[in-house]
Structure 1
Amino acid sequence: MIAVWIILFILLIVFFSSFVTIKQGTIGVITVFGKYRRILLPGLNFKVPLIEQLYSRISIQNRSVELEFQAVTIDQANVYFKAMLLYSVLNQSEETIQNVAFKFVDERNLMQALVRTVEGSIRAYVATKRQSDVLVLRREIVEHVKDQIDNILEGWGYHLQDLQLNDITFDEAIMKSMSQVVASNNLKAAAENEGQALLITKTKAAEAEGNAIKIAAEAERQASQLRGQGVALFREEVAKGMTVAAKEMEQANMDTSVILFTMWTEAIKHFSENSKGNVIFLDGSAENMQRTMKEMMSMHALGMEENKR
């Protein structure tokens, strides 16, 4: 009876050991007497009891690791990197799973090789660049690393998903000198901008002044023209009036020199009221007045001839 129970117990153990549950996001690796046999996909799987062994469960999910390391540029400047590495199993094929399962002794050795490979690739690239160029080469560094280690990782069964250079710093003395360079460049740019602004302001002011002078000159020219036209019209009207008055006085047998005398006295009155001088010299002879009267009458007659044309 006891033997029966023992046999049943053994059978139960064998039965339950024939089934293996593989979680989502992992792949099971089966070996027979230490040799690779097949893979198990997520879910409930059957294996031959006592012969097939579950060697390992391999995660196919994305994994990340943070890196901190130092590199030296071609001009002997120390550069300190803080990076985040994102990687995963290349695919779920048998060949890839075999590489992942058997290339390294354990996960720790894989991680050490992966980190050292990435750091070595970045160091080799930075060693060919100057310190002043490193900060603007983030993308180029990442692309260089991917080109260099993608084939290596594929041989291990992995794929580099992403490499982020979160922080790039230098020695304190270099950082201080870089800050001073940036500050001086900013001051230089500010001075150049201020100079350009001042030049533009002065140029605009000169243009405005020139335009104002042109406008004032044009206004003065037009005003002078109008004044000249006004004086000409005034003289023409005076000549007309004097001509008419002279004709009326001749018809009345009166001396026309009375008109000239009246104009002469009005001129003296006007000069005395508006002139700032103390002495006025005038030729008040009758001969000069008669000559002026004849000239004005001739001008009136010439104007009448032009109007008729």
Structure 2
Amino acid sequence: MSEVGGVSEVSSAHFTYSTNSTTYHFNNLLPSLSTDSVLYAESVFCYKPIDLMNFLLLLLGLAIVLIFLSVVIVQQGTVAVITVFGKYARVLRPGLNFKIPFIEVIYRRISIQNRSVELAFQAITADQANVNFKAMLVYSVLNQEEETVKNVAFKFIDEASFMQALIRTIEGSIRSFVATKRQSEILALRSEIIEHVKSQLDTLLESWGYHLTDLQLNDIAFDEVIMRSMAQVVASSNLKAAAENEGQALLITKTKAAEAEGNAIQISAEAEKKASQLRGQGVALFREEVAKGMAESAKVMNEAKLDASLILFSIWTEAIKHFAENGQGNIIFLDGSTDGMDKTMKQLLAVQTLNSSIESSGIITPPPISGKR
């Protein structure tokens, strides 16, 4: 319990202060001690003592605040740079870390994950054609080593300054490469442009503590006038190629058709030749058989002592019958009398005799001109 007391006696030479358990005596005070001085002395000694429990609670609260201020949690994929009175001190890794409150300060948190940014800019070729580029850049911190993190934290005043330097450097590198090439060459040099930029930026970015992971040229476009002219050139080339292909196709078709026709003619000629041979053999065989039949008939007729003209008459009537049955609407003028038969038979016998004499002598003569029907 707190003790409350008061001044019990005040004089110029003696001052007494009493509490519940203690009495304080002050002797030999100066004779000139005034009443105001006595009241001041009473105010000094009449205080309320601080409770011990409250003091302990205060100390506990201060300890909790200090512990809270000293704990630092760093997220995965991130590191924190610590400075002491503005000077670099150390790097905090992902997880639970501690720092000295009010002395160590987190200067900057740096992400070590991949980051991307899109670029859009224009370049001019050697033949003064405007080329519009759209690109995507992927970059990251080179590694988690202390020196690398220190470069990332202190090389640039802020992230915006670094991005501005990076973008302008890439644009300048691409523009310097495009300026040495013609407009017609640019579309075929996409990979060469990327390799040129990477070769120039790798060393520079490493000195900044970064690494260029990927650079993609998503779109390369020209002015509208150039695009129209390029489309016309492509269309003309396509038409020319189509005409050449069509001509080649037609040539191949004609060649194949001619070859096929020649083969067909050759096959037809060979077939006709073979057919003619077969027809000739058939006619010769037919004649041979007819001759044998007629010889047999004549022999039989002679043995029977009959006139051989009956054989000719039979052949004549058979021929007339055959003409009538197989005429197929054709008109055949034929003398059907006995004299006509005799005259026709004599002519046939004369032709047969002439052909036999020619075959036996081996002389080739043109076929006789047939008479009128």
Question: When the two structures are superposed, what TM-score results if normalisation uses the length of structure 1?
Answer: 0.80
Is the contact between residue 297 and residue 311 of structure 2 (CA under 8 Å) also seen in structure 1? no
Q: Which residue of 1 aligns with 2:117?
A: 65
CA deviation map 1:276-299 (0-9, x unaligned)? 5789976839xx78x95xx79xx9
The code of the aligned residue for 1:56 comes to R
Cα gap change, 1:253 to 1:115, in 2 (>3 Å): same
Is the contact between residue 298 and residue 311 of structure 2 (CA under 8 Å) also seen in structure 1? no
The code of the aligned residue for 1:181 comes to V
Partners of 1:158 and 1:284 in 2: CA distance: 122
Offset at residue 79 of structure 1 (A): 0.5
Q: Which residue of 2 aligns with 1:236?
A: 288
> What are the equivalent positions in structure 2 for 1:1-150 lying under 5 Å apart?
1=50, 11-150=63-202
Q: Which residue of 1 aligns with 2:346?
A: 284
**Could you tell which deviates more after superposition, 4-13 or 139-148?**
4-13
Which residue among 156, 163, 166 is the counterpart of 2:208? 156
Partners of 2:94 and 2:178 in 1: CA distance: 43
Question: When the two structures are superposed, what TM-score results if normalisation uses the length of structure 2?
Answer: 0.68
Show structure 2 runs of 5+ residues with no match.
Answer: 1-49, 361-373
Q: Which residue of 2 aligns with 1:204?
A: 256
Is the contact between residue 87 and residue 159 of structure 1 (CA under 8 Å) also seen in structure 2? yes
CA deviation map 1:61-105 (0-9, x unaligned)? 211111111111122111011111111111111111011011111
Higher helix share: 1
Residue 168 in 1 paired to residue 220 in 2? yes
Partners of 1:45 and 1:283 in 2: CA distance: 138
Is the contact between residue 18 and residue 46 of structure 1 (CA under 8 Å) also seen in structure 2? yes
The code of the aligned residue for 1:172 comes to E
The code of the aligned residue for 2:100 comes to V
CA deviation map 1:152-200 (0-9, x unaligned)? 1111111111112121111111011011111112222222222222223
Offset at residue 58 of structure 1 (A): 0.8
Partners of 1:43 and 1:108 in 2: CA distance: 27
Partners of 2:72 and 2:315 in 1: CA distance: 140
The code of the aligned residue for 1:284 comes to K
Offset at residue 246 of structure 1 (A): 3.6
**SS at 1:137's partner residue?**
helix
**Could you tell which deviates more after superposition, 49-58 or 152-161?**
49-58
CA deviation map 1:122-162 (0-9, x unaligned)? 11121222211212222222222112201111111111111
Partners of 2:72 and 2:217 in 1: CA distance: 41
Partners of 1:210 and 1:221 in 2: CA distance: 16
The code of the aligned residue for 1:157 comes to G
Aligned length: 291
Is the contact between residue 242 and residue 259 of structure 1 (CA under 8 Å) also seen in structure 2? no
Offset at residue 264 of structure 1 (A): 8.5
Offset at residue 219 of structure 1 (A): 2.6
Cα gap change, 1:81 to 1:284, in 2 (>3 Å): closer
Show structure 1 runs of 5+ residues with no match.
Answer: 300-309
Q: Which residue of 1 aligns with 2:229?
A: 177
Identity %, equivalent residues: 63
Cα gap change, 1:261 to 1:169, in 2 (>3 Å): closer
Pick 1 or 2: higher relative contact order, CA cutoff 8 A, min separation 6. Answer: 1
Offset at residue 210 of structure 1 (A): 2.0
Offset at residue 14 of structure 1 (A): 3.2
